[in-house]
Structure 1
Amino acid sequence: MDLDELLKVRARYDAEVREDAQPDGGDALVERVGGVVRQSVPGLGWNGVLWSDLDEETADAQIAAQVSFFAERGCPDFEWKLYEHDRPADLGARLRAAGFVPEPPETLMVGRVAELAQLPVEPPEGITLRVVTDEAGVDLMMRVHAGAFGTERPRIREALLSRLRDEPETIAAVVAMAGDTPVSAARMEMRPGTAFAGLWGGGTVPQWRGRGIYRLLVAHRARLAAELGIPYLQVDASDDSRPILERLGFGVMGVTVPYIWTRPGPDTD
């Protein structure tokens, strides 16, 4: 895609996926308050700001309002998902001044499903794919996440179980197995009425990297998206994933940074 096309696709992504966001689970609530679209959810779900349309005069007040809202709900933390083209230009600095901590930046990427669905999907030798439909499959994914990313992800586990139970048509998850051992996993999230399916959680345990499994999981999900008539795949790519995705034909729409607010702990001497 050339720059003009990428900018048009990004504008469509902002409108459909961010500004007109839909809840990512049955218990989640998405609402627009002032110049902010946020999601709140009880339990272990994802809480955060998905979109904002602010300026120099309104930004600080809206940041304070969201901190107050999530704090009053008792949330231990929440995320403000900042995109580099969001206004005002110094929104990141304002978030840091309000106590948010930035996580590593991610590259917002997009690919055409019609092209990606043509990628070969023959698994590497010794690898089979298992479609995730139940708790046992989710637990296999969590084993991969722990090995690939070095962290436990109870929120993701809860969100996956919720969607498989309540909205199975909005998610497609898969695990790559080497015999009885899960070695890679990924999911695709879809929402009715949007032109985008999001690719999330793609990771491979270190000893199985470099064998084409990540590429296989992208191709597998692209074919599912093609069957559903979805024209674009979107990824918030890590530095490890970006070069692979670029080789597969994904274009760069910008950079996004998760800003995390964490409830202050009790004072200590």
Structure 2
Amino acid sequence: MTDLDVLTLREAYDNQLRALAPDPLPTGVTVERDGPLIRILGLTDGGFLTYRDLGGLTGAALDELIARQVEVFRARGEPVEWKLHGHDVPADLPDRLRAAGFVPDERETVVIGLVAPLAATLPVVPEGVRLREVTARADLDRIVAMEEEVWNDSRGFLADGLEREIAADPQSLTVVVAEAGETVVSAGWVRYVPGTGFATLWGGSTLEAWRRRGVYRALVTYRARLAGQRDRTLLQVDASDDSRPILERMGLVPVTTTTPYIYTP
């Protein structure tokens, strides 16, 4: 692939990323299939529902599929996220999810770009900041403290989830912190999706005093270089409204949107 044709990128995203389950599975995580859905249970922050497409389900049959997920997670007493995309069909799927008790969270934009040009760029951090790869629980807890300061809510599940992923397959992701002295000012991780050409970027929250100083951009570049070292060709991010303009300036292009629909028993 030598250009950034949106339809081609979206097709690659749909085919290679959307219907994947963790492999290997972290301890305590299980995967079930229900028709076109992949149902992931036992994650640290609840369940997760994904699919390549819904196989043409509409009307009562689709309502029944949704209702089965509600029953599963009601019985488990845990929340679940249905990851809805802007190009999903049928068009009334959001209405049907809401009718079943799912609540939409903040919409993000799926952006994709080529790894090679980003990997050819050196990350530039502000004076006094360094980037460091981490695996220790103490560092993961420091990331949680930073995230909780940024978002003003509990993020303990994040350290638990990353620790379980690292234990299951330490080669499947890299966690990177941006530090100023002893303070974690930002952090992000990159997953190298097995069997695909993709690396996916996550995290990126940054303390307010360190925003607009190039920290996030440096983290993206650093992780793109890691992806290039592992022969990944495409970089994908679920981008917030804050990060999307930065990523677009770095060469990534929007291909669709994604909205978490959350059911909480």
Q: What's the TM-score bracket when you normalise by the shorter of the two chains?
A: over 0.9
Cross-structure match for 2:186: 184
Cross-structure match for 1:67: 70
Q: Is the 8 A contact 1:47 1:79 kept in 2?
A: yes
For 2:177, the aligned partner's letter is: V
Once the two structures are superposed, the pairs formed by residues 92-171 of structure 1 within 5 Å of their partners are: 92-171=94-173
Q: Deviations over 1:215-241 (max 9, x none)?
A: 000000000000000111111111101
Q: Secondary structure at the match of 2:18?
A: helix
Q: After the TM superposition, which segments of 4 or more aligned residues of structure 1 sit over 4 Å from their partners?
A: 1-4
TM-score normalised according to structure 2 size: 0.92
* 2:47 counterpart of 1:29: no
TM-score normalised according to structure 1 size: 0.91
Cα–Cα, structure 1 residues 103 and 45, in superposed 2: closer, same or farther, change >3 Å?
closer
For 1:77, the aligned partner's letter is: P
Bigger shift: 214-223 or 108-117?
A: 108-117
Cross-structure match for 1:6: 6
Q: Is the 8 A contact 1:83 1:255 kept in 2?
A: yes
Cα–Cα, structure 1 residues 16 and 26, in superposed 2: closer, same or farther, change >3 Å?
farther
- Which of residues 77, 80, 83 is equivalent to 2:79? 77
Identity %: 42
TM-aligned CA deviation for residue 119 of structure 1: 2.6
Cα–Cα, structure 1 residues 35 and 119, in superposed 2: closer, same or farther, change >3 Å?
same
Q: Is the 8 A contact 1:45 1:158 kept in 2?
A: no
For 2:73, the aligned partner's letter is: F
TM-aligned CA deviation for residue 147 of structure 1: 2.1
The answer for unaligned runs of 5 or more in structure 1 is 264-269
CA distance in 2, matches of 1:261, 1:226: 37
Cross-structure match for 1:267: none
TM-aligned CA deviation for residue 6 of structure 1: 1.9
The answer for unaligned runs of 5 or more in structure 2 is none
CA distance in 2, matches of 1:70, 1:99: 12
* 2:232 counterpart of 1:246: no
For 1:30, the aligned partner's letter is: V
Cross-structure match for 1:47: 47
Q: Is the 8 A contact 2:26 2:167 kept in 1?
A: no
Cross-structure match for 1:38: 39
CA distance in 2, matches of 1:99, 1:78: 11
Superposition RMSD in Å: 1.9
Q: Secondary structure at the match of 2:171?
A: helix
